[in-house]
Amino acid sequence: MDIKTLARPNSDLRQSEAQAQLKAAYRQVFGNAHLFDDERSLSAESLFINGDLTVQGLINALALSDSYRRLFFEANGPYRFVELNFKHLLGRAPRNQAELSEHVQILATKGYEAEINSYIYGAEYLEIYGFDTVPYNRGATSIGGNSNITYNRTLALASGFAGFDGDKQSQLLFSIATNSSPRAAQRTPGPGDRNGQRYTIRWTSSKPVGQNRRVVQTSSAPYSSLSSVIQSIHRRGGSIASVTES
């Protein structure tokens, strides 16, 4: 038996492992989306299969691809896009408003590529996944240093093995803005009466304007406009104190 024959089983095993990692990477990064052959990153796949690209490099290539940009950046607002980046690239939900806003700001000021790179080349990614582990949903187990709310938010973002992250509405904006459980936030509007229900938003402003403007502000909005009002308050540097039914 020659050396080539002896080497073949190990080579086949490496190829099998690489194919399994490639499949897992697509499923994780694209949230179970079905991609046609012309939507796949074939050059990155080839480099990875040949051993010229690490798992980390593969994840980066998939997240920077035209397909990821089209499915998750162009089809969604910045808050939903950032939510999905946390889920797809770090395997968890944003911890709080500050973390969510930080990445929205990176996206707005430094652009798409900088936003993607901030996850994959960040300290948390390297500590958890290193160079050779495909990111995975960490909602199945509690994450050290995270609160129970973060754990519940990660579960709320999970779409299931066969689900697709195609929902264009932010799943966590209300929860993060009010520092509440996502399940509690989703139960707030009663069944069948969401469109007619109004909400009172109490928020603090670090820069009140005018003699009669108080640090604590109050806004009112119907459920259909609630997300846009919350986003507007955040853009003005405000912090949400509470959101209650009017």
pLDDT tens, position by position, 46-69 = 999 999 999 999 999 999 999 999
Element (H, E) at 13: helix 3-29
% residues pLDDT > 90 (the chain): 40
Length of the chain: 246
The reply to whether the predicted model has a pTM over 0.75 is no
Q: Measure the CA–CA gap between 28 and 237, rounded to whole angstroms.
A: 33
**Which is it for strands 239-245 and 216-222: parallel, antiparallel or unpaired?**
unpaired
Q: pLDDT higher for 115 or 139?
A: 115
Q: Measure the CA–CA gap between 123 and 86, rounded to whole angstroms.
A: 14
